[in-house]
Amino acid sequence: MKAANKQSILIVEDERALNEAYQMILRSAGFTVEVAFDGQEALEKCAELEPALILLDLRMPRVDGIQFLKSYDLKKNHPKVKVIVFSNYDMQKEIDEAYSLGAERYILKAWASPKELVQVVKNALEDK
């Protein structure tokens, strides 16, 4: 595994339009961006390179956000990686589970404007 790039962000989002929008927003804000369209792909990307931050959707095909967190095992294997759960699915049970698996924040996608998204990511990275 290569050394983690502090500015690299992995976007895990199955909705193509949103995934692309987040790529554009974060790239224009100066971050290195990797993308995955489901949890399985995210696990593969993470095996190649440990990102500084993961923007993680919850409801995705194949491996969903919760399953990804369980497999990736943040607390044990990747304590430095920040995870922001970024979902439009607000089932309290899953939100609680995500927090218990080590997620840093949960944000409802619908409320974040592009500027706010950038701010949230910056805040999370600076919080180190």
Partner 1 sequence: MVLIRHMTRMRHITKRWRHGMRPMVRRAWGMYHSLHFPPAVICAAILALTALGWISTRHGLQHDINVAEDTRITATEHLVESQLNSYEEILSGGVGLFQGSDEVTRSDWQHYIAAFNVTQDYPGAQAFGYARVTTSDELPDLTAYMQAQGVADFAIQPSSPARDVYAPVVYTQPERPGVMFGFDMLSEPTRRMAVLEARDTNRAIITQPITLMAKTSQKNLTGFNMYVPYYDIAQPIQTTAQRQAAIKGYVFASFRANIFFKNIVASDQAKTMGLSIRAGATPLYASGNYASLIKQHGILQVTRPLQVYGQTWTITYAFNRHGLVSQPQLNRPAGVLFAGIFMAIMVPLIVWLLLRARSSELLMQKERDIELAKDELLSLASHQLRTPATGVKQYLGMVLQGFLGPVVPEQHLILEKAYASNDRQLHVINEILHLAKIDAGRIVLARQNTNLRDLLHDIMHEQQSDLKNAGHKLTTHIPKQPIMLNVDAHMLRMAFENLLSNAIKYTHRGGKITITVRQTATEVHISIQDTGVGIAQEDFPKLFKQFSRLPNEMSQQVGGTGVGLYLAKHLIELHGGSIRVTSSLGHGTTFSVTLPKNAA
Report yes or no: 85 and 98 within 8 Å, Cβ to Cβ.
yes
- Smallest separation (angstroms) from partner 1 to the CB of 68: 17
Nearer to partner 1, 4 or 89 (CB): 89
Q: Three-state SS across 86-109?
A: EECCCCHHHHHHHHHCCCCEEEEH
Taking the CB of residue 80, how many other CB atoms lie within 10 A of it? 10
Instruction: Confirm or reject binding of residue 59 to partner 1 (CB under 8 A).
Output: yes
Per-residue tokens: 124: 């999370």
- Considering only residues 19 to 58 of the shown chain, the ones binding partner 1 according to CB under 8 A are 21-22, 24-25, 28
Backbone angles phi, psi at 87, to 5 degrees: -140, 155
Residues 6+ away with beta carbon under 8 Å from 76:
none
Nearer to partner 1, 81 or 121 (CB): 121
Per-residue tokens: 21: 């929008």
The residue within the footprint of partner 1, chosen from 4, 7, 18, 125 (CB under 8 A), is 18
How far is 99 from 96, CA to CA, in rounded Å?
5
Binding span for partner 1 by CB under 8 A among 33-41, 47-55, 76-84, 106-114? 106-114
Nearer to partner 1, 111 or 127 (CB): 111
Nearer to partner 1, 36 or 87 (CB): 87
Residues that bind partner 1 (CB under 8 A): 15, 17-18, 21-22, 24-25, 28, 59, 87-92, 108-111, 113-115, 117
